[in-house]
Amino acid sequence: MAPELPQWRPESAAQEAQREVEAMFALRDCGTVSRCERQYHERGLAGLQPRPKGRAKMMKPKIPLKPRKKDNTRPREELLDATEYLRAENDYLKKRRALIQVAQAAAQKQRNSRGKRGHTISCLFC
């Protein structure tokens, strides 16, 4: 009996052509050509483009800054009055801070003039 010839099937011819292409370009993975062909048929040229690998970066959405509006509604004299008031308030706060520091320094000096247990130096029983 004569050996039977394998039946010709379109799938086997396509597989054979893929193997030839893989051998021609020395591709290690045997499914590379079929995968590329499938991606091309599914998504076109976009399917052959490299895709990013790994996790997507978690970036905070950028919040657009609101443009500052110029306040041209206040007259110049009103602005000068407000500036003068703020300067006076600043001077008052500086003088108040200086008075508090003087009072604290006097209290500290008075505490340092006493003995170890809070009594005056003239106390003989300490």
- Report the length, in residues, of the chain: 126
Lowest mean pLDDT segment, chosen from 1-5, 45-49, 55-59: 1-5
State residue 119's pLDDT score: 56
For residue 3, pLDDT over 90 is answered with no
* Mean pLDDT, all residues of the chain: 79
The pTM of the whole model exceeds 0.75:
no
Distance CA 55, CA 33 (A): 27
Give which of 46, 7, 16 is closest to 34, Cα–Cα. 16
The phi, psi pair for 57, rounded to 5°, reads -70, 140
What is the arithmetic mean of pLDDT over 100-116? 85
Distance CA 13, CA 33 (A): 14
